[in-house]
């Protein structure tokens, strides 16, 4: 697929076998809810995108996100060391995106934020099909992590769904892939391959609801000799199609809508996550939490990302149930006003 937006100004909707080479949002026929054509300024103001790279292992957990929200670019990075319970985290904000750049090509491009001696960079390359995270912070923290979707072969979740009355959201998700590289920090130095680290990745963009929320769950690791990844969401990509799925040795298995049950006032208490079709029944117990609150009037966010352990069962249609026991992963609870 060359471009997401078609000649008639509308996106192609659905779950795709191939990743669009370009998210050509400027070609979108963007209109007000009453049908009035909107110009370039409105297109820029209402288009948002973000990219996330996560690391999972029993020895080290990490996450890095970059987001472009037109009026501001934001980023965070954190590392958590489960054996000691120690955590490092940093946050960055760039008004009007100054110091940041974002590519609209999911499989070939760079998203980057620079602030002082700090650099957060996400590189996507099509040949070979790889994702890479580079972080250099002024406190000496360095992350150089990468994974391949080609060796062994992997089927990403790639889809576009309608959003509200006049928008759309494109997302490309990956989980259940082995990760290599190095991490140097105050928590210690780590060889990601040696500690058997896994990765997950999210590339999302579009015209999202003015006020929105989502819950999300992801795990990435090895279970009973299989590479297992999980991507479940409630609140965003659910109009006509969903992004819900899990992977077994790189094979994508679609899942119906899901329900998250948890205590908003005490998010570290256990969560339960179940799918309507019975393929997913999981319990999540949080071990740590990264959270951010931002209220700038026009823009606001209340974000909680928890890392911890999943237990339960995945039941692929026509396949053997897979029992999950204390597998590391993430859940999120987020409110956003764009």
Q: What is the CATH number of the domain that holds 46?
A: 2.40.370.10
Q: Which of 199, 204, 154, 205 is nearest to 175 (CA)?
A: 199
Q: Does a structural domain hold residue 170?
A: yes
Q: Does a structural domain hold residue 28?
A: yes
Between 337 and 159, the more confident residue is: 159
Largest CA distance in the chain: 57
Q: Does a structural domain hold residue 255?
A: yes
Q: Does a structural domain hold residue 1?
A: no
Neighbours of 86 (CB within 10 A): 14
Indicate whether 206 pLDDT > 90.
yes
Q: Does a structural domain hold residue 103?
A: yes
Indicate whether 189 pLDDT > 90.
yes
Q: Are 257 and 179 in contact (CB under 8 A)?
A: no
Q: Averaged over 115-130, what is the pLDDT? A: 96
Neighbours of 58 (CB within 10 A): 15
Q: Averaged over 44-52, what is the pLDDT? A: 95
Q: Are 13 and 161 in contact (CB under 8 A)?
A: yes
**Which residues touch 94 (CB under 8 Å, ≥6 apart)?**
72, 73, 74, 100, 113, 115
Q: Does a structural domain hold residue 7?
A: no
pLDDT band, very low/low/confident/very high, at 338 (cuts 50, 70, 90): confident
pLDDT band, very low/low/confident/very high, at 293 (cuts 50, 70, 90): confident
17 CB burial (10 A radius; 0-12, 13-18, 19+)? exposed
Q: What is the dihedral of CA 123, 124, 128, 130, to 10 degrees?
A: 80
Q: How much is the pTM?
A: 0.94
Sheet bearing 322-337, strands edge to edge: 251-254, 245-248, 226-234, 211-223, 322-337, 300-314, 280-295, 271-275, 258-261
pLDDT at residue number 201: 98
Q: How far apart are CA 68 and CA 98, in angstroms?
A: 10
Indicate whether 282 pLDDT > 90.
yes
Range of the domain at 85: 14-337
Q: Mean pLDDT in the chain?
A: 95
pLDDT band, very low/low/confident/very high, at 287 (cuts 50, 70, 90): very high
**Which residues touch 158 (CB under 8 Å, ≥6 apart)?**
15, 16, 17, 18, 19, 20, 171, 172, 173
pLDDT at residue number 1: 83
Burial track 172-184 (b if 16+ CB lie within 10 A, e otherwise): bbbbbbbbebebe
Burial track 130-167 (b if 16+ CB lie within 10 A, e otherwise): bbbbbbbbeeebebbbbbbbeeeebebbbbbbbbeebb
Q: Does a structural domain hold residue 5?
A: no
pLDDT at residue number 294: 80
Burial track 282-301 (b if 16+ CB lie within 10 A, e otherwise): bebebebebeeebeeeebeb
Structural domain count, the chain: 1
Q: Are 227 and 177 in contact (CB under 8 A)?
A: yes
Q: Which of 115, 91, 69 is nearest to 300 (CA)?
A: 69
pLDDT band, very low/low/confident/very high, at 292 (cuts 50, 70, 90): confident
Measured in whole angstroms, how far is the alpha carbon of residue 219 from the centre of its chain? 12
Q: Averaged over 49-73, what is the pLDDT? A: 95
Which tens digit of pLDDT belongs to each residue from 10-40?
999 999 999 999 999 999 999 999 999 999 9
Indicate whether 81 pLDDT > 90.
yes
Q: Are 332 and 319 in contact (CB under 8 A)?
A: no
pLDDT at residue number 278: 96
Which tens digit of pLDDT belongs to each residue from 82-121?
999 999 999 999 999 999 999 999 999 999 999 999 999 9
Q: How far apart are CA 18 and CA 3, in angstroms?
A: 11
Percent of the chain with pLDDT over 90: 89
Indicate whether 300 pLDDT > 90.
no
Q: Does a structural domain hold residue 4?
A: no
Q: How far apart are CA 8 and CA 123, in angstroms?
A: 31
């Amino acid at each position: 697929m060359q471009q997401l937006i078609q000649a008639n100004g509308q996106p192609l909707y659905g779950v795709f076998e191939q990743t669009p080479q370009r998210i050509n949002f400027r070609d979108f026929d963007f209109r007000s809810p009453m049908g009035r054509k909107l110009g370039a300024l409105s297109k820029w103001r209402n288009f948002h995108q973000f990219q996330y790279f996560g690391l999972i292992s029993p020895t080290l957990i990490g996450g890095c996100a970059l987001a472009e929200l037109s009026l501001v670019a934001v980023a965070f990075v954190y590392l958590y060391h489960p054996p000691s319970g120690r955590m490092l985290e940093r946050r960055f904000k760039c008004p009007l995106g100054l110091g940041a750049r974002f590519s609209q090509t999911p499989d070939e491009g760079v998203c980057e934020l620079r602030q002082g001696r700090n650099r957060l960079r996400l590189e996507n390359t099509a040949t070979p099909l790889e994702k890479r995270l580079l972080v250099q912070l002024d406190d000496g923290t360095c992350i150089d992590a990468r994974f391949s979707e080609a060796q062994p072969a992997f089927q990403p979740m790639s889809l576009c769904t309608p959003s509200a009355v006049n928008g759309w959201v494109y997302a490309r998700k990956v989980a259940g892939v082995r990760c290599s590289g190095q991490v140097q920090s105050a928590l210690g130095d780590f060889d990601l391959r040696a500690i058997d680290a896994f990765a997950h990745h999210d590339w999302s963009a579009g015209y999202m609801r003015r006020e929105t929320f989502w819950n999300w769950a992801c795990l990435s690791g090895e279970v009973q000799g299989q590479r297992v990844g999980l991507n479940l969401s409630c609140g965003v990509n659910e109009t006509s199609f969903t992004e819900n799925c899990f992977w077994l040795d790189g094979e994508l298995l679609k899942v119906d809508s899901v329900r998250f049950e948890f205590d908003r006032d005490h998010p570290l208490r256990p969560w339960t996550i179940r799918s309507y079709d019975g393929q997913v029944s999981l319990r999540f117990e949080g071990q740590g939490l990264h959270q951010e609150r931002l209220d700038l009037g026009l823009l606001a966010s209340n974000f909680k990302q928890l890392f911890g352990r999943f237990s339960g069962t995945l039941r692929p249609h026509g396949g053997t149930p897979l029992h999950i026991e204390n597998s590391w992963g993430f859940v999120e609870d987020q409110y956003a006003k764009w």
